């Protein structure tokens, strides 16, 4: 049903910026807020008129004239005209201007085309899908490290429902994280190898090289597992999840 809704938005001319089961952010490419609101109302009414979408609840919440989007935790929206300083920055980014990159690279004493000059998100995180609030049954994806709905309960940090602000059960989230971790580690242990040259999956167990003379590499890298373990370890330490922390520590000691 979710995929059908997204497909219908696209069919009616909308550009999907971001979408999950609770929120859809789209670009209407309209010139004014009033035109954009009229367009959104038309699209929503069109969806409601289809029998398959009668059980769905769709409502408009917010509108921006301009938006810079990186991910659901890093975006910037403005209603009205852009301030001059922000306007210049947006214009530089939209035009692919490399001057900003060059000056920043020089200030950091690194080469312009060095890997160190590329921006990377400093906060590793993990998203638990479809967390359901036991108080109001609101379902949403929970970003373990970047979610803003937080509080302290009995001195322990907890996540809050974004709709009714009741605390989620930390033990339930901990069990789900342990399940994710065990599945990921098992997938890493039992994974196939692929050739770096032809991308074919390794078939012969004893073959050192592919038939095309390429080397074999794992589908899931040890770095990916290490990042997940470190992220879960930080979350477990901060939220006082002892069982998860023990599981992570044991996995970290396992050779990879």
Q: Region 137-153: what's the mean pLDDT?
A: 90
- Of 6-15, 84-93, 171-180, 197-206, which gets the smallest average pLDDT? 84-93
Domain residue ranges in the chain: 1-79
Per DSSP, 129 falls in state E
CA-only gyration radius of the chain, Å: 23
CB 216 within 8 A of CB 197: no
- What size, in residues, is the chain? 256
Q: How confident is the model at residue 44 (pLDDT cuts 50, 70, 90)?
A: confident
Averaged pLDDT, 192-218: 88
CB 176 within 8 A of CB 197: no
Q: Give me the mean pLDDT over the 38-50 stretch.
A: 84
Contact by Cβ (8 Å): 126, 231:
yes
- H or E stretch covering 85: helix 84-94
167-176 per-position pLDDT tens digit: 999 999 999 9
- The residues that bridge with 143 in the sheet, in sequence order, are 127
> What's the CA gap between 230 and 253, in Å, rounded?
12
The pLDDT tens digits for 87-137 are 655 555 555 555 555 555 565 565 655 555 555 555 678 999 889 999 999
């Amino acid at each position: 049903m979710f995929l059908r809704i997204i497909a219908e938005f696209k069919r009616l001319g909308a550009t999907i910026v971001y979408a999950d089961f609770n929120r859809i952010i789209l670009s209407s490419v309209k010139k004014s807020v009033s035109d954009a609101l009229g367009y959104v109302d038309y699209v929503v009414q069109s969806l409601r008129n289809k029998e398959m979408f009668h059980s769905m609840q769709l409502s408009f919440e917010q509108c921006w004239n301009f938006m810079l989007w990186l991910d659901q935790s890093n975006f910037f929206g403005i209603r009205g005209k852009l301030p001059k300083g922000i306007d210049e920055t947006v214009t530089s980014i939209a035009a692919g201007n490399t001057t900003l990159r060059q000056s920043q690279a020089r200030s950091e004493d690194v080469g312009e085309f060095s890997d160190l000059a590329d921006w990377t998100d400093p906060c590793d995180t993990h998203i638990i899908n479809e967390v359901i609030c036991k108080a109001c049954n609101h379902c949403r994806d929970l970003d373990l490290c970047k979610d803003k709905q937080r509080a302290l309960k009995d001195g322990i940090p907890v996540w809050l429902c974004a709709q009714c602000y009741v605390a989620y059960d930390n033990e339930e989230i901990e069990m789900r994280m342990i399940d994710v971790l065990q599945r990921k580690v098992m997938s890493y242990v039992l994974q196939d190898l692929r050739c770096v040259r032809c991308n074919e999956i390794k078939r012969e167990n004893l073959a050192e090289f592919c038939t095309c003379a390429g080397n074999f590499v794992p589908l899931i890298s040890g770095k990916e597992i290490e990042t997940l373990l470190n992220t879960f370890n930080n979350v477990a330490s901060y939220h006082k999840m002892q069982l998860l922390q023990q599981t992570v520590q044991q996995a970290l000691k396992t050779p990879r």
